Structure 1
Amino acid sequence: MKDRELRKAIALKYEGNGASAPKVTAKGQGLIADEILLRAREAGVPVKEDPSLAALLQSLEIQQEIPEDLYAVVAEIFAYIYRLDKLKEKN
């Protein structure tokens, strides 16, 4: 149960089209984090686990853009997801 209480999940969305940065669209800990992860997987949304980044993003509000100092780290996550999507297209 302790692991579940410590688990954090943050959902990010980047719309492009003039948006300056990705935004937090959902966040939670424990059972809420489990539900976010379950819904993401059910919807076919790739999940990348990074507990240290999740801890940093946890302080942001829903619909808040990520701060500039996290752009590079979050860009790596989006690049990872892009590569996964390209692999799925090939298969």
Structure 2
Amino acid sequence: MSDSGKISPSISDDDLAVAISYQPGQDHAPHLVAKGQGWVAQQIIEIAKANGIEVREDADLAMILSQVDVDSEIPLEAFTVVAEILSYVYSKNKVWPDGLNKTKDE
């Protein structure tokens, strides 16, 4: 999951959150599964945390992905950043999907 930020005590109406998913062998590319602003952004983040999903701040990426329709693949220009975030999340959770190899330092 990717979002607009580390959670502060309150989220402003302008704050964004997005959620991405990628299932190797099933998906051709990561895709957007949720997006929202303000209260909806806070709900996305709370649901992720409640389900043990790592939350990562990247306001620029959140802005780019907020332009993508839900259930659509992420745009090519965001692939590198999304790959880095997915790697970070898999590493933090110590769970790597089948078909993905860990790096040597993981």
TM range (shorter): 0.7 to 0.9
> Where has structure 1 moved over 2 Å in runs of 4 or more?
none
Q: Which runs of 5+ in 2 are unaligned?
A: 1-10, 96-106
CA root-mean-square deviation: 1.7
Residue 51 of structure 2 corresponds to residue 36 of structure 1: no
Paired position in structure 2 for 1:68: 76
SS in 2 for 1:19: coil
| TM-score, normalised via structure 1 length | 0.88
Q: Which runs of 5+ in 1 are unaligned?
A: none
Residue 62 of structure 2 corresponds to residue 20 of structure 1: no
| TM-score, normalised via structure 2 length | 0.76
Paired position in structure 2 for 1:48: 56
| Greater helix fraction, Structure 1 or Structure 2 | 1
Q: How many matched pairs?
A: 86
Paired position in structure 1 for 2:88: 80
